[in-house]
Amino acid sequence: MLGVNLVRKQVWGFIIILVGIISSVNILFAATSEAAFNLPNETDPQDTFPVPSGIKNQLFYLQRTTNTNTVIYSLNVNDKGELDESTPVKVFWIRYPEGGMRKELNFIQKAFAYGTISKKNKDGSFTIQLVAYKKKEFTLKKSPIDNTYKMYTLINNKESEIKRVYIQIDPGGTLFNPNVRYIEMKGKEAATNKPIMERFKP
């Protein structure tokens, strides 16, 4: 009789331990599942970068993974507000790590990285290309809404006013051949004025 009681106690003890283990596993699984469905949204690095403001005649700006130094593309106008048709786009740095100071591009940056090539068209607009990525064409022309020059390109196959370009660069490339994971373009649809964005592998 004592042997039977001892066996019963051992069986019940085992059941209690087993139930505890199962409960713990269920709790852990539930917590893991809840965490999986309630992960905080990852913030893209570019969403934490400074946004240039108060820059006269700014068309759009370009930023890269490397740092917050920002390339500004603006209208190249004289003191009278007249456009320099030989070089309609002026390009320069805003060096945020250096207190937001403005700095001109050096020769290599202008010739191989961030400079532009322009061609005037018969209708008075300009075809603009970035020297580092000539596949993507931009058009500098006057907006029919306010008659001011704006920069347009195709974003998701829709004519859009370009406002920002961001380049995601991963390790493993070189100075003249960086490892670009994607290019992100943001702007406004010309027809609807709605925000639009596209990411693509160059």
| 85-126 per-position pLDDT tens digit | 999 999 999 999 999 999 999 999 999 999 999 999 999 999
147 and 186 in a single domain? The answer is yes
156 and 94 in a single domain? The answer is yes
Task: Classify residue 146 as exposed, middle or buried by CB count within 10 Å of its CB (0-12, 13-18, 19+).
Answer: exposed
pLDDT digits (tens, 9 = 90+) for 143-152: 999 999 999 9
Strands 158-170 and 149-155: antiparallel
* Residue 185 in this model has a pLDDT that exceeds 70: yes
101 and 142 in a single domain? The answer is yes
pLDDT digits (tens, 9 = 90+) for 22-66: 333 333 323 333 333 333 344 566 678 999 999 999 999 999 998
6 and 92 in a single domain? The answer is no
22 and 116 in a single domain? The answer is no
Given the structure tokens 């001892």, which residue do they identify?
6
Cβ-proximal residues to 85 (8 Å cutoff; 6+ apart), any chain = 120, 126
28 and 88 in a single domain? The answer is no
58 and 144 in a single domain? The answer is yes
Q: How many whole angstroms separate alpha carbon 125 and alpha carbon 123?
A: 6
* Residue 129 in this model has a pLDDT that exceeds 90: yes
Number of domain units in the chain: 2
Q: How many whole angstroms separate alpha carbon 174 and alpha carbon 171?
A: 9
Q: Which domain holds residue 119?
A: 45-200
Whole-model pTM over 0.75: yes
Q: How many whole angstroms separate alpha carbon 65 and alpha carbon 176?
A: 16
